[in-house]
A and B are shown apart, each in its own frame.
Chain A
Amino acid sequence: MGTIIWYLIPALVMFCCGVYGFMTRRNMIAMLISLELMLNAVDINFVVFNRYLYPGQLDGMMFTLFAIAIAAAETALAIAIIINIYRSAKNIDVRDVTRMKF
């Protein structure tokens, strides 16, 4: 049981880096990378818990695979949006994209 912590700590660090990056970076591509970081941290958690707590089952693994597939699609979408924003604003600074408000 002692070893599980050595997997969870990096995942936590990754997640916190992701959150920090998502909130502080102004470049949308960088924010997207931070988002991926968070997702991957969660994926690691899934795999680790599945491996250590229920070694006989594969639910966590499947979830991870699923999440990776979704993340890939989502990234493609996000980049498409960012490219379109760039085309119209010549800029991908998130502080400049504030028109979607009340």
Chain B
Amino acid sequence: MDFIIPLLILAIPLFNFLLLGIGGVKMSHRLAGTIGCIGMGTVLVLSYYTAFNYFFSGNEAFIIDGVRKAATIFNVTWLEFTKNLVIKLGFLLDPISAMMLIVIPTISFMVHVYSLGYMKDEKGFQRYYAFLSLFSFSMLGLVVATNIFQMYIFWELVGASSYLLIGFFYTLPSAVSASKKAFIVTRFADLGFLIGILILSFYTQTFNFADLTNNPQNVLLSTGGATFLGGSVLTWALVLIFTGGMGKSAMMPLHIWLPDAMEGPTPVSALIHAATMVVAGVYLVARMFPLYLMEEFALQFITVVGAITALYAAIVACTQIDIKRVLAFSTISQIAFMMVSLGVARPEHHEALGYMASMFHLFTHAMFKALLFLGAGALIHAVHSNNYTAMGGLRKYMPITHWTFLIGCLAIAGIPPFSGFFSKDEILSACYSQSMFWGVWMSIVAGMTAFYMFRLYFLIFWWDTPDYSHHHHKPHDPKFAMSFPLLFLATVSVFAGFIPFGEFVTWNGHEYTIHLNTVIAVTSVVIALLGIGAAYVMYSKKNEWPARLAGLVPWLWTAAHHRFYWDEIYLFITHKIIFNGICRPIAWFDRHIIDGTMDGFAYITNKASVAIKGFQSGKVQMYVWWYLIGALLLGAITAVCWM
């Protein structure tokens, strides 16, 4: 395959970022928006072409005897430190990166179009589009990375663009602190990632994914059985790399940044904090999956972290008031589903069904969660509030938003024939094939998913209609720029489940035919319907049930409402322990010892100059006197020494 098109996929967003970032000040909003959308549209076409080529061309480079291969389109040396320590930048096409080449530009383009309406007349519109382009560039660079270091570089870049976009409304203190929180938490996690990379590459002498994943046995051998604190270094490396994924994908206990990241503009939440960037952690594990298979412990760690996070986020999502936060916690929960699915994937069970299921869910989730977020944006646009308490009965006012939102909810709840049903069903099958325990656990979480999503749906669109007369105008459906992405994504969410995903994405490239496990499918649908039914009973009309139920276990409700006090725990640890125990002594040392020394030098210099400044009297002839005396003295000293 030619390298021009893949190169353009990366170059166009980067160019757009520079163009809009530097020249945006001089542009009108309309021009900047058009440039952003046309650029992203071009990328969309090129990526579709590339992905289509990869999956369907039958080219020898991509598929041999029905087995899909990873193909490196180009790989140039970027930095060469030593013979082994070479950092390359390249473009890798394999099933998952080709799949991401469909997901990212699709969502990104929809968000670009949507933002034309949503961010209209917003100050800094051009800057917004510049950052969107930067993010698209970084995310695309991340998924096509040929080596783990390139991935790390783009990983940090998506973190930076996420930071910039969360803090887009930089005059709001809450947005500023949310962006700082997101950056610091993910940065902290990335430290683990970096250490993991260094350990791994120290033993294997390579960064290349191809070298690492094609022969995982060699990687295991190259560590030579070295151990650290009772674990083999490979386990440590993989767990540390997963830590980076935990940070980006908001797994417990590093999830705290994601709910706050909702301070950013809603389209940004849809693009970055629901559909693309937050699945980077899942993508990372999938990318290194053959290596993870070598270490049972690492996989079990992923499973446990994912399962706990899924349950935790689902409980918390049932009690939040801010609709974007409900969606944020549901995102955390759904990403945890993908993680669990990877954690339970084993080649012995249905050819590592979990791997395929996880990627499938990543795909469908990206579509319907972006839809839900964009729908939430339309609602917020209409009622000027993030809280469902300001909404209710909106189905009559906003039919398009209502129907698309309903489709999104049905998809995430796992009701056939919507896309979420198929992917979630595969995940549950994978869990049951690994162990009954995780299967039941995830089924319960899936039921809760249906419950909290429909709680949200009913509270927004049914419940009690508040008095909208104090608004300038009644809530209404958004204009075409905003409703088109909703309709498009809703269509995708309806039909995406019928894609024979197993033919395209499997862990080893062999084709896998999805067959629904009837028992699991029926139970999960029944559970989902139970969740929806409970939500219907409690929230379809205004009644006392929710309050009464919350009053039944007030401590649980309060704790969940406060997100089980994770933020408070972090605040306690940082403010009380780290700040007082470490930062204050260091600050004292800096202020008194380091600054004191520097101030001392300055003080001495200052005093000395004041003392001798009288010499510069302005009387020229005095200067000559002093000069003469000095010259004579020097002459005398020289003469004396000479003698």
Residues of B within 8 A of A95 (CB): 619
A 9-44 binary contact with B (CB < 8 Å = 1; else 0) = 000000000010011100000000000000000000
Minimal beta-carbon separation of A7 from chain B (angstroms): 22
B384 shortest CB reach to chain A, Å:
65
Q: Give chain B residues whose Cβ lies under 8 Å from the Cβ of A19.
A: 624, 628
B interface: dominant SS: helix
- Tell me the bound Cα distance from A94 to B620 in angstroms: 7
Q: How far is the CA of A47 from the CA of B624 in the complex (A)?
A: 27
Instruction: Report chain A residues within 8 Å CB of B472.
Output: none
Chain B: minimal CB distance from A54 (Å): 24
On whether the beta carbons of B619 and A23 are closer than 8 Å, the reply is: no
Q: Is the CB of A22 within 8 A of B624?
A: yes
A100 to B618, CA, bound (A): 5
In chain A between 86 and 102, which residues have their CB closer than 8 angstroms to a CB of chain B? 94-95, 97-102
Say whether A98 contacts B618, CB under 8 Å: yes
Q: Kindly state the separation between the CA atoms of A20 and B410 in the bound complex, as whole angstroms.
A: 106
Q: In angstroms, how far is the closest chain A Cβ from the Cβ of B619?
A: 5
Query: A87–B638 Cα gap in the complex (Å)?
Result: 45
In the complex, B616 has a CB within 8 A of chain A:
yes
**Interchain CB contact under 8 A, A99 and B618:** yes
Interface centre among B614, B616, B617, B620 (most CB of A within 10 A): B620
B613 touches which of A94, A98, A102 (Cβ 8 Å): A102
The answer, among A23, A94, A97, for a CB contact under 8 Å with B625, is: A23
Q: B620 to chain A: which residues have CB within 8 Å? A: 94, 97
Closest to A101 in B: B618
Cβ contact within 8 Å between B619 and A98:
yes
Shortest CB–CB separation between residue B625 and chain A, in angstroms? Answer: 7
Chain B residues in 8 Å Cβ range of A22:
621, 624
Contact of B624 among A23, A99, A101, A102 (CB under 8 A): A23
- Nearest residue, chain B, Cβ from A99: B618
Which of A24, A94, A101 sits near B616, CB closer than 8 Å?
A: A101
Most A Cβ at <10 Å: residue of B613, B614, B616, B619: B619
**Distance of B609 from chain A, by nearest CB (Å):** 9
Q: Which residue of B614, B621, B628 is within 8 Å of A94 (Cβ)?
A: B621
The docked-state distance in angstroms from the alpha carbon of A19 to that of B631 is: 13
Which residue on A lies nearest to B621, using beta carbons?
Answer: A23
**CB proximity to A under 8 Å, residues B593-620:** 613-614, 616-620
Query: In the complex, how many angstroms separate the beta carbon of B246 from the nearest chain A beta carbon?
Result: 64
A99 to B625, CA, bound (A): 19
> Closest CB-CB distance, A24 to chain B, in whole Å?
8
Q: Which residues of B contact A99 (CB under 8 A)?
A: 618
Give the 7 A-B CB pairs with smallest separation, nearest first: A101-B618, A98-B618, A102-B613, A102-B616, A100-B618, A23-B621, A101-B616
Give chain B's interface residues, CB within 8 Å of chain A.
Answer: 613-614, 616-621, 624-625, 628
- 26 sampled A-B residue pairs with Cβ under 8 A: A19-B624, A19-B628, A22-B621, A22-B624, A23-B621, A23-B624, A23-B625, A23-B628, A24-B621, A94-B619, A94-B620, A94-B621, A95-B619, A97-B618, A97-B620, A98-B617, A98-B618, A98-B619, A99-B618, A100-B618, A101-B616, A101-B617, A101-B618, A102-B613, A102-B614, A102-B616
- Beyond A22-B621, A102-B613, A102-B614, 16 additional pairs, beta carbon < 8 A: A19-B624, A19-B628, A22-B624, A23-B621, A23-B624, A24-B621, A94-B619, A94-B621, A97-B618, A97-B620, A98-B617, A98-B618, A98-B619, A99-B618, A100-B618, A101-B617
